[in-house]
Amino acid sequence: MVIRRFKSCYAHHSASRRVVEQVFALQKVGNQSALFELADLLKVKFPEKLKAQWGWKGPPPDFSKYFPDLIVSNLKDTTKQDFGLDSEKWSEWIKRNLKD
């Protein structure tokens, strides 16, 4: 249920800070399902500009690059692996090496 709620947030990624919070929350959950969701987020084409209301000292100039970089950083920190922006390779590794 938690994962489903996160999915709805970034499916409507209108609030940039909320997406960031969800990425970190998925990393904190850290199980197979949560990391599959992070890997799937690498397939999302985020717009360059998003609404950046609260919580930003200065929003990134390009959210279409910021979010994928943030997701990869979180995946790398959690798994100690590096497959760059390749969602399929991340998913394969997660499937082979992690359980819920």
Contact 58, 16 (CB under 8 A): no
Q: 83 in a domain, yes or no?
A: yes
Which of 3-7, 13-17, 40-44, 51-55 is least confident? 3-7
Q: Is residue 13 part of a domain?
A: yes
Is the pLDDT at 13 greater than 60? The verdict is no
Q: How many structural domains compose the chain?
A: 1
Q: Is residue 40 part of a domain?
A: yes
Q: Which domain, by its residues, includes 15?
A: 2-49+57-91
| pLDDT score of 2 | 45
The answer to whether residue 98 sits within a structural domain is no
Mean pLDDT (the chain) is 84
The answer to whether position 21 is within a domain reads yes
- Let me know if residue 11 belongs to a domain: yes
- What is the pLDDT confidence band of residue 67, given thresholds at 50, 70 and 90? very high
Q: 85 Cβ partners below 8 Å, 6+ apart? A: 42, 68, 72
